[in-house]
Amino acid sequence: MRIARILAAATLFASLTAAAVIVTTTANSQAMAPFGGDEDIAYSKAVWAAMTDAKLVGAKAIGSRPYEGTEPHGFILETLYDEVTVNGHTGLIIVKRNYGPKGATVDEVANDPGKHLGAVTVMFKREAGYDADNKDWFWAKYLPDGSLDKNPKGMQLAGRVAKGADAGCIACHTGADGGDYMFLKNEM
């Protein structure tokens, strides 16, 4: 009986230790991630407010002519750029409104953009030194209401999104002509 209790206690201890390691590892990997932390989330809120003030998003947003797009952004897109000030820093902002669903037409989106808006993806040029490896861009993916979208692991998509990964914002945009991470100039 005493051996059974010792084995049960040892099994329980091992299970609790394993669970603690998993929770700690998950928390540490999220804390070490280059995006989605508290600072990124707070900054993304300031970016959304600046975009709203500049009429790049929200109920009074400036419209432009939608065009056919590609994944991962959407089947129909609108791209706008401007300079905005966020927390005292003025920088270039590129706003891509991502529309769908697949099969939607440019005319349908132009006639009722709110019905088709799936997400708003943003690049904002932050102050020098923010992320020198990636030209100091801040990345965010918002849902139409201004809240942040999340990746499959539940991390909010703001900051140095997917830095160091083989796919994602930074990995894709490193392929832009001129090494400036902007595909926009190719459309201008």
**Segment (H or E) for 179:** none
**What is the mean predicted confidence (pLDDT) over 4-20?**
40
pTM of the full structure: 0.79
pLDDT of residue 32: 57
- On whether both 170 and 86 belong to a single domain, the answer is yes
- On whether both 1 and 63 belong to a single domain, the answer is no
- On whether both 40 and 25 belong to a single domain, the answer is no
- On whether both 21 and 91 belong to a single domain, the answer is no
Q: How many domains does the chain have?
A: 2
Predicted confidence (pLDDT) at residue 21 exceeds the cutoff of 90: no
Q: What is the pLDDT of residues 41-97, one digit of tens each?
A: 999 999 999 999 999 999 999 999 999 988 888 899 999 999 999 999 999 999 999
How many Å apart are CA 115 and CA 117, to the nearest integer? 6
- On whether both 71 and 19 belong to a single domain, the answer is no
pLDDT of residue 8: 40
- On whether both 105 and 138 belong to a single domain, the answer is yes
- On whether both 21 and 45 belong to a single domain, the answer is no
Residue 15 belongs to domain spanning: 1-32
- On whether both 46 and 60 belong to a single domain, the answer is yes
pLDDT of residue 183: 80
- On whether both 24 and 49 belong to a single domain, the answer is no
Q: What are 15's two structure tokens?
A: 């299970």
Using CA atoms in the order 160, 162, 167, 168, what is the torsion angle rounded to 10 degrees? -60
- On whether both 86 and 41 belong to a single domain, the answer is yes
- On whether both 177 and 155 belong to a single domain, the answer is yes
- On whether both 40 and 96 belong to a single domain, the answer is yes
